[in-house]
Amino acid sequence: MKKLVLISSIGFLLTFNPTVVNAHQSHYEETNNKYTFHAWWEEKGENCTIVFDFDNENNSPTLQVDKGIPIIKDQILEVFREVKSKVGLFGSKKYIYHITYKDMNLKVSTSKIIFVNKYASRDFQAALEEFGIF
């Protein structure tokens, strides 16, 4: 009887976790040389869309977060990837990309892009490599 309760409890707990993961499962779309990723921006729960455009009118690949101003590879100064693990039986990982870049006014800024899905993180890293910055 205790096993049934434990299994029910695990099933109950798992029903709440996928909402976090699902936001990151449809992480990658490729359309007309544009790669689109869904992640968190700066902190957990702040959804954002990141678009790599490899075929735009400037012939220079761009990276754009939400509807912000696209930036080119030369504006990115540093990218650092960090993996944080949550402690516990159902601990999950966060894959965090810290990006330091110069905006159009040459002001240096840092942004944090967070994935909870390792496959989304892996595909995002591959896009960064294709972009020429990782």
Could you tell me which residue, 59 or 108, shows the higher pLDDT? 108
Dihedral sign, Cα of residue 14, residue 15, residue 20, residue 24? positive
Residue 78 has pLDDT above 90, yes or no: yes
Average pLDDT, the chain: 78
Whole-angstrom CA distances from 97 to 76, 89, 111 are: 13, 25, 8
pTM of the model: 0.73
Could you tell me which residue, 18 or 119, shows the higher pLDDT? 119
Q: What is the pLDDT of residue 19?
A: 34
Q: What is the pLDDT of residue 44?
A: 82
Would you list the domain boundaries of the chain?
2-131
- DSSP letter, residue 68: S
**CATH for 2-131?**
2.30.29
